[in-house]
Amino acid sequence: METLHSDRVRQLAHGVREDAIAWRRHLHANPETSFNERETARYVFDQLASFGLRPYHPTPTSVVASIEGVFSGRCLAIRADMDALPITEETGLPFASQTPGAMHACGHDGHTAMLLGAAKVLSALRGELQGEVRLLFQHAEELFPGGAQEMVDAGVLDGVDMVIGTHLWLPLTSGRIGIAAGPLTAAPDTFSIEVLGRGGHAAQPHLTVDPVPLAAQIILALQQLVSREADPLRPAVLSVTQVHAGTADNVIPDRVTLGGTVRTFDEDVRKLFERRIGEVAEGLCAAFGATCTHRYQRGYRPIRNDAAVSAALAAALREVLGEEVVEEAVPSMVGEDFSAYQQRVPGCFFWLGSRNEAKGIVYPHHHARFTIDEDVLETGVAAFVGAALHLL
Ligand code: NI
């Protein structure tokens, strides 16, 4: 839209910089975990109402508001997730979590603050806005089955033409944008296996069916699915993250339970793991006289960015933020339930870099010392506002 120059968008975003930092710090100090975001949702609701909007709760802990331009047009949804993680914070920041066992360790506090900033700016720009911007403040991104699907089921995408969202991203330098069409995040599936042997005296293994060496073989054999059975040109990760067995040094236990996660982009590779993990466990157990039970749980779908929306959004971000800060996104094997929106409408999810070595902001997502570079909050506001003006 020619009526709004990129300089002005950046100025407007800069104008809410201090607000965005204050909102982010309030949310950071008061984290709530997935599906428990009651005070967070109330706080967001009150801020939106103070901008003259009419927010509502499509589910108990999510918030949606619409900004309708004076000119008719299409509808763009912008999503920010709001939930924290069950981690005890160790940053020592003055606005650190006041709730032991809960922490914004993924940056969702920043996402919420950036979308509030965009809401404030866009509310004041109604007279120049075409179509509708729908703000989706989503609960429970971190916990399967996730808040996105619940919001979709509640009808928040009715009448929406496209959806965008971002994640503050530590692998990327502060202020940089990573955006690309195609796959961006993986399907985060989980699995568990229970190896059932027959315990006994540790000095008489021949009288038992020892599930421990068997579980060790299963763990190693599962890696062989990645290295020998999955197509090497199609990424796959299998991590065994839980091993539980035994109660004493001199007792062979009856059972070992294993748990872990599989990350894939491709449906065929995903199906391979879904089938073969159980087959490998059963085969090895049968070979040594044990049995097993196993379960494979499908998680979120992979994010697959729409080509047209991604191209339009990338062009808007180059225009607003500068050619030099936008680069081709590197996909990640993390999971993101933004994909639930993309099953309904075309969309694009992009990375917003927030790593700053000079400020010591280097800890990875989900770490007890994770934090974000607050300088990028206004960048995120500018990105959302610019997207609204250019895409509609
Ligand atoms: Ni996250």
272-308 pLDDT per residue, tens: 999 999 999 999 999 999 999 999 999 999 999 999 9
pLDDT digits (tens, 9 = 90+) for 327-356: 999 999 999 999 999 999 999 999 999 999
Question: What is the SS3 assignment for 53?
Answer: coil
Tell me whether residue 37 is one of the annotated catalytic residues: no
- Can you give the three-state secondary structure of 73-89, one letter per residue? EEEEEEEEECCEECCCC
Q: What is the mean pLDDT of residues 3-11?
A: 86
Judge residue 67's burial from the number of C-beta atoms within 10 Å of its C-beta, 0-12 exposed, 13-18 middle, 19 or more buried.
buried
The string of pLDDT tens digits covering residues 78-113 is 999 999 999 999 999 999 999 999 999 999 999 999
The pLDDT of residue 61 is above 50? yes
**Distance from Cα 80 to the centre of ligand 1, integer Å:** 10
Does 229 share its domain with 102? no
* CA proximity to 121, closest of 4, 211, 223: 4
The confidence score (pLDDT) of residue 218 equals 98
Report CA(365)–ligand 1 centroid distance (Å): 8
Average pLDDT over residues 195-214: 98
Residue type, 321: L
Band of residue 1 on the pLDDT scale cut at 50, 70, 90: very low
Catalytic residue among 32, 89, 132, 141: 141
Alpha-carbon span 19 to 120, nearest angstrom: 10
Q: Provide the pLDDT for residue 4.
A: 67
**215 CA to centre of ligand 1 in angstroms:** 32
What is the DSSP-derived secondary structure letter of residue 361?
B
Number of domains in the chain: 2
- Give the SS3 label for residue 236: strand
Catalytic residue (choose from 19, 37, 83, 373): 83
Same domain for 328 and 286?
no
Q: Determine the distance separating the centroid of ligand 1 and the alpha carbon of 83, expressed in angstroms.
A: 9
Residue 141 designated active-site: yes
Q: What's the pLDDT score for residue 33?
A: 98
Residues 372 and 247 in one domain: no
Q: Give the β-pairing of 162-173 and 236-245.
A: unpaired
Closest CA to 175 of 119, 122, 257, 114: 114
What is the distance between the alpha carbons of residues 117 and 104, in angstroms, rounded to a whole number? Answer: 19
Q: Which amino acid is at 239?
A: S
- At 146 the pLDDT is 97
Distance CA 217, CA 68 (A): 60
- Residue 74 to residue 52: CA distance in whole angstroms: 22
Give residue-wise pLDDT tens across range 212-256: 999 999 999 999 999 999 999 999 999 999 999 999 999 999 999
- Which phi and psi angles does 351 have, rounded to 5°? -90, 140
CA of 186 to the centre of ligand 1 (A): 13
Is the C-alpha dihedral spanning 268, 271, 277, 282 positive or negative? Answer: negative
Reference 58, options 164, 153, 146; nearest CA is: 153
- Integer Cα distance of 33 and 84 in angstroms: 5
Q: Are residues 177 and 234 in the same domain?
A: no
Where a domain ends, among 280, 297, 314?
Answer: 297
3 state SS of 34: coil
If asked whether residues 177 and 88 sit together in one domain, one would say yes
**Domain containing 337: what range?**
3-184+302-391
Hey, what's the torsion of the CAs at 158, 351, 167, 373, to 10 degrees?
-140
CA of 366 to the centre of ligand 1 (A): 8
> What's the pLDDT at 5?
86
**Are residue 306 and residue 219 in the same domain, yes or no?**
no
Query: Does residue 167 sit in helix, strand or coil?
Result: strand
Same domain, 312 and 365: yes
Segment 157-163 mean pLDDT: 98
Nearest to 392 by CA among 318, 313, 310: 313
Q: Which residues contact 379 (CB under 8 A, 6 or more apart)?
A: 13, 175, 321, 352
Residue 153 has pLDDT above 60, yes or no: yes
The CATH code of the domain that includes 76 is: 3.40.630.10
Question: Would you give the distance in Å from CA 374 to the centre of its chain?
Answer: 19
| Cα(159)–Cα(165) distance, integer angstroms | 18
Query: Does residue 8 share a domain with residue 77?
Result: yes
Do 254 and 381 share a structural domain? no
Q: Are residues 195 and 284 in the same domain?
A: yes
pTM, 2 dp = 0.93
Boundary of a domain, candidates 297, 329, 354: 297
Place of tokens 């968008």: 9
Decide which of 265, 297, 329 is a domain's last residue: 297
For residue 269, what is the domain's CATH number?
Answer: 3.30.70.360
Same domain as 310, residue 289: no
pLDDT reading at 3 higher than 80: no
In a shared domain, residues 324 and 191:
no
Q: Rounded to the nearest whole angstrom, what is the distance from the C-alpha of residue 188 to the centroid of ligand 1?
A: 13
Residue 164: pLDDT over 60: yes
